[in-house]
C-alpha cells in the first residue's frame, strides 16, 4: 500500500513490513506513523517482538521518540541519531535473532561507534534467516561494499531453538563514512558445498542422519561436499530441543547461496524425520542455485539498500528473480530516499529453447545511482 505524507510524516497502514519502515526511517531521519496495526484482529496492536525491535532501535540510537496509542494500533516513530557501540539485547523469542540481526547489519556501517552487540534469544526460527545463514551469506555481501574487513564478525556463542531459545551471538561491525559502489554481474559456478548440522538436546545420531541424507543429494552434483556437525552440550545447547541444517554453496566468484531447514517445534504436531530434513534442505539449496544471481535471495534487499546509499556513482548488480519482500523494499526505498532502480530482466538465450523444462529463471539487473549517503556521526581523526 503506497504511503501518504502528512506534515513531513510518512503514514502507513498495517503491521506488515514494520521492520523495513523503521529501518529506513532511522537511516533517512524521517518520521513515520503507522496506523491500523492489526486493528481488525482479535488480538489488536503491536506484538511483543515488534515492541522488542523498537527497544533495540532505541538502544543503538540517541533521541528516538516513540508514541504508541493506548490500544497499540497506532505508532509514531521519530528516529534519533545512530550511535551504535556496546550493547546487550535480549530478543523476543517469538522471532529469531535473525529478525533483529538483519536490522543491525543494515545499520551497522552507519553508526558513530563500531557496533559490538550481544544478542540473546532464538538462533534458528522458521520465519527468519538463521544466524548461520547470516554469517555465511550476508557478511560476504557487506564485505563487498566496505572492502576492508576490520572487525566484521559474527560469533555464535550458544545455539537456542524455539520456543524457549537460550542462544547467544556476538555481532561486531566496523563503521564507514560511505559505501563503495558495487559492480557485480557475474556469479560463476558453484565450486564447493559446506554446511553445519546442529543437534540441541537431542540424540547426536540425529545430526549424523541429517548429514548423510543431505550429502547424498549434493554428491549427485559435486564431489566437494563437507558438512560439520555441531553437537552442543549443556548450556551451549539452549533451552529447547531441536536440530537443523544449513547448507552453503560457494561459487568461484565469491557468491554464497545458503539454504536451511530445521525440525518442527516440540509439541506442534508431527515430528520431523532427520532424513527428510536433510534432503529437503539440499533441494532448497539446489533451487537457490537454479535461481542464481550474485546474491542469496534473502539478502537482495540488503544489496539494494547499500547500493542506494552508496557513493554518487552507478552501482550495478544482477540478482535472481526478485522476492516479494525485495519488491516491497524497493517501493519503500523510493518513498524514503527517492531512489528508483532501473530493473531489467535478463533472458538467457541458451535456456529459451527448451520450454518444456518449466519456467525460465528471470534474472534481474538492478542499476541505480547512489544518493551519496554520508555517515555524519562518524568521528574523523
Partner 1 sequence: MAYFDRQSTSRNIMKLVYGEFEVGNKIKENQNEDKENESDEEIGGLFKKVTKSQKSNQKEKEQLDVDECSHFYALDKPNTRDWTKEVNKQVIINNFVTGKRSA
- Tell me: does residue 177 bind partner 1 (CB under 8 A): no
Give dist(CA 217, CA 284) in Å, integer: 11
Binding region for partner 1 (CB under 8 A) out of 148-156, 177-185, 204-212, 290-298: 290-298
Nearest partner of 275 among 228, 243, 231, 250, judged by Cα:
243
Of 26, 28, 102, 242, which one interacts with partner 1 (CB under 8 A)? 102
CA 102 to chain centre: 5
Query: Per the structure block, which three cell numbers stand in for 64?
Result: 528516538
Q: Which stretch binds partner 1 (CB under 8 A): 110-118, 164-172, 234-242, 330-338?
A: 330-338
Does 214 help bind partner 1 (rule: CB under 8 A)? no
Figure out which of the listed residues 8, 350, 352, 355 binds partner 1, where binding follows CB under 8 A. Answer: 350
Torsion region of 42: left, alpha or beta (phi above 0 gives left; psi -120 to 50 gives alpha): alpha
Strand partners, 380: none
The yes or no reply on residue 48 touching partner 1 (CB under 8 A) is no
Does 18 interact with partner 1 (rule: CB under 8 A)? yes
CB 272 within 8 Å of CB 248: no
Nearest to 157 by CA among 139, 173, 169, 145: 169
Total residues in contact with partner 1, by rule CB under 8 A: 63
CB of 357 to partner 1, least distance (A): 5
Residues 352-371 that bind partner 1 (CB under 8 A): 357-359, 362, 364
Q: How far is the CB of 360 from partner 1 (least distance, A)?
A: 8
The answer to whether 134 and 171 have CB atoms below 8 angstroms apart is no
Cell of 80: 534519533
Residue 17 grid coordinates: 513490513
Instruction: Note the residues at the interface with partner 1 (CB under 8 A).
Output: 1-2, 13-20, 36-38, 40-41, 99, 102, 127-129, 189-191, 217, 220-223, 252, 283-284, 286-292, 297-299, 301, 321-325, 327, 330-331, 334, 340-345, 350, 357-359, 362, 364
Amino acid at each position: 500500500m503506497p504511503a501518504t505524507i502528512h506534515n513531513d510524516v510518512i503514514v502507513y497502514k498495517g503491521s506488515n513490513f514494520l521492520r523495513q519502515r523503521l529501518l529506513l526511517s532511522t537511516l533517512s531521519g524521517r518520521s513515520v506513523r503507522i496506523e491500523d496495526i492489526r486493528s481488525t484482529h482479535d488480538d489488536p496492536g503491536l506484538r511483543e517482538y515488534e515492541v522488542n525491535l523498537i527497544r533495540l532501535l532505541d538502544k543503538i540510537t540517541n533521541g528516538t521518540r516513540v508514541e504508541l496509542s493506548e490500544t497499540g494500533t497506532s505508532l509514531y516513530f521519530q528516529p534519533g541519531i545512530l550511535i551504535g557501540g556496546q550493547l546487550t539485547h535480549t530478543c523476543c523469542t517469538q522471532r529469531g535473532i535473525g529478525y533483529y540481526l538483519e536490522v543491525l547489519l543494515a545499520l551497522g556501517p552507519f553508526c558513530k561507534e563500531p557496533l559490538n552487540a550481544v544478542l540473546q534469544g532464538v538462533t534458528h526460527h522458521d520465519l527468519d534467516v538463521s544466524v548461520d545463514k547470516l554469517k555465511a551469506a550476508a557478511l560476504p555481501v557487506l564485505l563487498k561494499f566496505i572492502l576492508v574487513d576490520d572487525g566484521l564478525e559474527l560469533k555464535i556463542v550458544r545455539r537456542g531453538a524455539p520456543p524457549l531459545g537460550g542462544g547467544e551471538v556476538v555481532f561486531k561491525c566496523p563503521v564507514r563514512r560511505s559505501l563503495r559502489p558495487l559492480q557485480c554481474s557475474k556469479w560463476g559456478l558453484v565450486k564447493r558445498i559446506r554446511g553445519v548440522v546442529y543437534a540441541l538436546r537431542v540424540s547426536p545420531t540425529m545430526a549424523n542422519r541429517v548429514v548423510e541424507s543431505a550429502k547424498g543429494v549434493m554428491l549427485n552434483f559435486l564431489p566437494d561436499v563437507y558438512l560439520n556437525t555441531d553437537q552442543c552440550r549443556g548450556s551451549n545447547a539452549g533451552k529447547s530441543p531441536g536440530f537443523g541444517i544449513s547448507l552453503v554453496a560457494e561459487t568461484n566468484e565469491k557468491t554464497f547461496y545458503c539454504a536451511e531447514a530445521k525440525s518442527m517445534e516440540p509439541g506442534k504436531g508431527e515430528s520431523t524425520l532427520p532424513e527428510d530434513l536433510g534432503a529437503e534442505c539440499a533441494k532448497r539449496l539446489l533451487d537457490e542455485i537454479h535461481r542464481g544471481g550474485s546474491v542469496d535471495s534473502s539478502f537482495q534487499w540488503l544489496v539494494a539498500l547499500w547500493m542506494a546509499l552508496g557513493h554518487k556513482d552507478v552501482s550495478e548488480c544482477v540478482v535472481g528473480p526478485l522476492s516479494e519482500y525485495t519488491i516491497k523494499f524497493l517501493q519503500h526505498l523510493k518513498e524514503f530516499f527517492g531512489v528508483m532502480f532501473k530493473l531489467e530482466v535478463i533472458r538467457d538465450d541458451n535456456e529459451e529453447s527448451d520450454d518444456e523444462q518449466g519456467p525460465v529463471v528471470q534474472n534481474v539487473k538492478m542499476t541505480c545511482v547512489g544518493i551519496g549517503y554520508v555517515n555524519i556521526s562518524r568521528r574523523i581523526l
